[in-house]
Structure 1
Amino acid sequence: MASQQIPETMQAAQVIEFDKPYKINNVPVPTDLAPEDLLIRVAVASLCHTDFMVQHGIMGTNLPCTGSHEGSGTVVAVGSSVENFKPHDRVMGGIIYHHCGACGDCRGPESSTQYCANAAYCGVKGADGYFAEYARIDSRWAAKLPDKVSFKTAAPLACAGCTVYKGIVLAGLKEGEWIALVGSGGGLGHLGVQFAKALRLNVVGVDARDEGLELTQKGGADVVIDARKGDEAVVKEVKEATNGEGVAATVNISDAKTAAATSCAITRMHGTVVQVAQATELRTPCPNFLLHHALANKFEADLNNQQPDNVSIPFQELIFRDIRFRGSLICSAQEANDMLQLVAKHGISVNANAFMGLGEMDRLIELAESGKMKGKGIVIMDQAQIDAEGKEVV
């Protein structure tokens, strides 16, 4: 069912060849919807580290592929079985497209799921993404935007927000406990600081860039620590703030070689470390959506792309101090909705670097690769939708 006149073609930024820049093409609008699909007019598309991995052929992507797996927009058409969305609804798109429904993660329970390894992923593998005027998405993984949440905020939350929110949820902390975020001032980290404060946790933010430390402070972290001082100084400052114990849990958002060890060292005995955003560079294409994120969470070693192939945990941390270490990727559809409600209630915002239209893609990529990005890079695909939101959105 369509709500407006939908054109036959549209502009899209596509990966045509690996290790080459995006090419802006005129392509058909994907109006052939499966029963559970939505067609949205894209308002904002966001850039993620995984987009670079797609460009370099690391994700096993079939080409051509329209980039971006973070997007927001307005529903213009719905599939025949869709009941919970209608035209004109404002939505945050999901990453997953057509999960299998049969694997363990699809069967649940939701609290223990990670993602469907058999699904397609918008802008990554098997489905086109949001660097386009229109996008075909799976309604089961989309989320309606609360009235107070803007398209600009929602697009980066579709992946970066969902990723770090899930990490904080998995930490399993109670109000008033201490949590640390290592890599706290990047695209994911500055959101994680705000989420943790909204959940009434005490927050330690650790970063190694001036830009990251500034965003950590802005996000409201109770303690902000410069990782460039070295592990000994970082651990000392954390213990001084936590009655000599260390934090109850740490979410590691950095892909620095020593970040996992640092995360363990600042976590109290029997505490939990949740690893997200391990952006390992594979030597061969990855058949599943196993790797993710970490666009702007750079420790000094990473400025030279010295990314680790493995997460290294010191033996004494794992055994003698009983640090519980687990990995996490993305949140469930319900958790995405919960996140958006938290964003609306507490006025959580994304520090966005906005570029107008696909014609500015090169400038966005240049900023992202410079290591000077503060927060997330977004592309405004449809200014009219943003103008229509009013002034009360965040």
Structure 2
Amino acid sequence: MAHEDLPRTMKAHILEEFNKPYNFRDVPLPVLEDPIDMLIRVDAASYCHTDAVLASGTMHPPALPHIGCHEFAGTVVDLPSGDKSNQSFKLEDRVAVPGRGYHVCGHCLECQNPSGPDPDEQGYSVYCPHAGGGLGVSSQGGFREYAVVDSRQVALIPSTMTAVEVAPLMCAGLTVFAALRKCELQAGQRVGISGCGGGLGHLGLQFATKMGLKTTGIDVAPKALDLARSLKTGATIVDASKEKAQDVRQQMGKEDGRGHLNEMGLDAVLILPESQKSFDYGINLVRNGGLVVVVSFPPEGFQVSAADLVFRRIRVVGSLIGSNRSMRDMFDFCVKHDVKAKVKTYPFSKLNQLVDDYRAGAVGKLVLDGSLED
């Protein structure tokens, strides 16, 4: 699409009041003002739990009016005028867009000293404190027909993947993929995923088992458990409302030929739900010296037992989202191992219908598909 062929206005889903439906209306087409930016046509926009939290105004409320969605994918339709030598993309490229890392400074301590098990390249950090705000979180996101994105934060979509397949990977997939990497486990070790039937969890089951890890999925909601079991990953799926953590842990010990409870259990567990019960259940499945990776962030936080930290030597770390390197590696992994989210698609104008289904307990990932007719 040539620049002169672009419309002057576009449709967007506008959050104008918290706890109210989105208003689908015309707004001006975004303007490119920075040489690192590019304009994309949004081909698919995926709904995340964070979108629900932001729309309720209960945590990190954005300035209103607001356009949500921090996991989307699209096609490049415009680049900055003038010298484009700093652009690694061209018109019609299909790109995947995570919300984090928009307009990072490149010079701060975070950007210049990437560290940890999943670092970004030097000069770019998704944790940059000077960034202009995550797309769809504190700045405008993908629930619109066109969006301005930072060319440094996106990646080319593999030729074998569709925009609808890619969009859910831009938060849910990348977050759980990075969290698994931060466990630093070897094939044959044990990992647990608490909340295994949710958007992140059902992708985590696929990643973990195809990494060669002995995987235990934990959930309580019947629909979520059904989804987890339907994947047929080979993971052990536990209904935490019916099975005691100690019994599950002892079964692991029996399978591993270990004789003392302290030696039995998971090497690491990912905590995806926001409830204290889920946190406690997960930590009770971990062997002494094991790792707990906290991915959720309830407003009231989690209570951690000092006895678990001191006597059981449990380590607790947090994980937010993956680096650009992890994003590229995740795509390679998905293509090689056929990892896909379970999705339900909606025409682009039907965000409020999608939200209603989400609140009613729909499982998997719910995605606006720009190719669908109303």
Unaligned runs of 5+ in 1: 282-308, 385-394
Q: 1:2 to 1:107 in 2, by over 3 A?
A: farther
- Following superposition, the deviation at residue 225 of structure 1 comes to 0.7
Q: 1:163 to 1:150 in 2, by over 3 A?
A: same
Aligned-residue RMSD, C-alpha: 2.0
Q: For residue 94 of structure 2, what is the amino acid of its counterpart?
A: R
Match of 1:378 in 2: 367
CA contact (8 A) 1:193 1:203 kept: yes
Corresponding position: 1:108 with 2:113: yes
Match of 1:267 in 2: 286
1:327 pairs, out of 298, 318, 329, with 318
Q: For residue 51 of structure 1, what is the amino acid of its counterpart?
A: D
CA contact (8 A) 1:41 1:76 kept: yes
d(CA) in 2 for partners of 1:211, 1:240? 30
Q: For residue 358 of structure 2, what is the amino acid of its counterpart?
A: A
Match of 1:235 in 2: 249
CA contact (8 A) 1:35 1:81 kept: no
Q: For residue 332 of structure 1, what is the amino acid of its counterpart?
A: S
- Following superposition, the deviation at residue 114 of structure 1 comes to 6.0
Q: For residue 277 of structure 2, what is the amino acid of its counterpart?
A: T
Report which of the two structures shows the higher radius of gyration computed on alpha carbons: 2
Match of 1:286 in 2: none
CA-to-partner distance for each residue in 1:132-163, whole Å, 9 max, x for gaps?
A: 11111111110111112221111011111111
d(CA) in 1 for partners of 2:227, 2:18? 33
CA contact (8 A) 1:185 1:212 kept: yes
d(CA) in 2 for partners of 1:243, 1:227? 24
d(CA) in 2 for partners of 1:11, 1:51? 19
Corresponding position: 1:83 with 2:95: no
Match of 1:388 in 2: none
SS at match of 2:358: helix
CA contact (8 A) 1:238 1:266 kept: no
CA contact (8 A) 2:348 2:372 kept: no
Match of 1:48 in 2: 48
Q: For residue 365 of structure 2, what is the amino acid of its counterpart?
A: K
d(CA) in 2 for partners of 1:89, 1:240? 52
Q: For residue 78 of structure 1, what is the amino acid of its counterpart?
A: L
Match of 1:61 in 2: 62
CA contact (8 A) 1:253 1:277 kept: yes
CA contact (8 A) 1:225 1:237 kept: no
Match of 1:292 in 2: none
- Following superposition, the deviation at residue 315 of structure 1 comes to 2.4
With normalisation by structure 2, the TM-score equals: 0.89
1:246 pairs, out of 265, 275, 281, with 265
Match of 2:71 in 1: 70
Q: For residue 364 of structure 1, what is the amino acid of its counterpart?
A: L
d(CA) in 2 for partners of 1:272, 1:81? 45
Match of 1:295 in 2: none
CA-to-partner distance for each residue in 1:61-103, whole Å, 9 max, x for gaps?
A: 1221111111011111223454321111111112121112233
d(CA) in 1 for partners of 2:296, 2:135? 18
d(CA) in 1 for partners of 2:245, 2:128? 37
With normalisation by structure 1, the TM-score equals: 0.84
Bigger relative contact order, structure 1 or 2, given CA contacts below 8 A and separation 6+? 1
CA contact (8 A) 1:77 1:87 kept: yes
Q: 1:255 to 1:77 in 2, by over 3 A?
A: same
- Following superposition, the deviation at residue 238 of structure 1 comes to 4.0
Corresponding position: 1:354 with 2:345: yes
Corresponding position: 1:215 with 2:227: yes
More divergent stretch after superposition (29-38 vs 316-325): 29-38
Match of 1:156 in 2: 168
CA contact (8 A) 1:177 1:202 kept: yes
- Following superposition, the deviation at residue 192 of structure 1 comes to 0.6
CA contact (8 A) 1:180 1:205 kept: yes
CA contact (8 A) 2:205 2:235 kept: no
CA contact (8 A) 2:87 2:151 kept: no
d(CA) in 1 for partners of 2:353, 2:86? 38
CA contact (8 A) 2:219 2:240 kept: yes
d(CA) in 2 for partners of 1:118, 1:8? 31
Q: For residue 321 of structure 2, what is the amino acid of its counterpart?
A: I
